[in-house]
Amino acid sequence: MTTTSRSERQSRTRPRVPASAAVRSILQHAAKRLHAAADGKLSTKSLHELRIACRRAESALRLCQDAADGRALRWLKQRLMTFRGACNEARDDDVLCKWVQRSGTSASPSLCQAIRDHREEVQPRITELARWLSDKHRFRRRSQKVVKQLQACQLQSPIAQVFGQRLFDEVSCFVKSLPANREEISALHRLRIVGKRLRYASELVTSIWPDVALTELNEHLHLLQDRLGSIHDKVVGARRLCKRLPNRLTRAAQPLARKAQETATRLHRKFWRWWQAYPIERMLADTTTEVVALISKRP
């Protein structure tokens, strides 16, 4: 893996982006995605982009909690979480349908149709929530309030340090989420979620504080997300094939459910072999050093 040395990172001349501008850009992008989702059915690609936009917005709002805490911020966090939950269900259907289709069994066509039928049932809820958030500029108005609070706070205190403290908390959560028992696949689910939060938080902080790159951390978290995502997809797929399909298809789905679970187990073992090849302790120690330096630095 290609990494960037500390001296190379310090020699870079990247423009510093104000915290309020960085957060505003993320929230505006999420608002655009919500508006697009309110206009019609989401493709697999557009649903993926929408979920990423929502996750980035949630991460930005978590970083803002100490600088712009208020009703608008809490409203945005709660609504984004609810909306993303509906999107996650549709996304799981898309991934499962594609996998079942590739399996090429005699039951694949009927199983795929049942999965698509469920996806069609979820779609109206996504559209309804997106329209409600976009209607009367509900999402945009509260986003603007949060940005204004950040702008006011910037005049009195160094926001980058405030964000750095929140990033330090995200690093601590990631460390606490490292599974103690490697035999449990479910233990990786929390690590996957916390890893996403840390990745998006670090990306935002490095955009407003150019002296801190966290290149190695972000590359590792990207790879981590891909590998844990593959395990998660198979675990969820096996569960859905067992419990979410019509009774008439339960028996036909059992072989694929077992295959999905076996694949998840194999990917789980492969993940830990990959994990052991990374100097995770040293990487987290370097990351912590950079974040502490960010917090301690004079504006």
Take residue 160 and report the two structure tokens written for it.
């980058």
Per-residue pLDDT band at 298 (split at 50, 70, 90): low
Percent of the chain whose pLDDT exceeds 90: 57
Instruction: Read off the pTM.
Output: 0.87
The helix-helix angle for 71-103 and 44-63 (nearest 10°) equals: 150
Mean per-residue pLDDT for 258-284?
89
Radius of gyration of the CA atoms of the chain, in A: 21
Digit-coded pLDDT (tens) for 199-255? 999 989 888 877 777 888 888 899 999 999 999 999 999 999 988 788 888 889 999
| pLDDT on residue 156 | 57
How far from the centroid of its chain's Cα atoms is residue 256's Cα?
Answer: 28
Percent of the chain whose pLDDT exceeds 70: 92
Q: How far apart are CA 143 and CA 17, in angstroms?
A: 18
| pLDDT on residue 12 | 46
Query: Given CA atoms 33, 15, 163, 70 in this order, what sign does their dihedral have?
Result: negative
Mean pLDDT in the chain?
A: 87
Q: How far apart are CA 81 and CA 151, in angstroms?
A: 25
Contact assessment for residue 178 and residue 164, using Cβ atoms and an 8 Å cutoff: no
Q: How far apart are CA 47 and CA 77, in angstroms?
A: 19
Digit-coded pLDDT (tens) for 16-55? 678 889 999 999 999 999 999 998 778 999 999 999 999 9
If one compares 74 and 286, the residue with the highest pLDDT of the two is 74
Digit-coded pLDDT (tens) for 92-112? 999 999 999 999 889 999 999
Digit-coded pLDDT (tens) for 132-157? 999 999 999 999 999 999 988 876 56
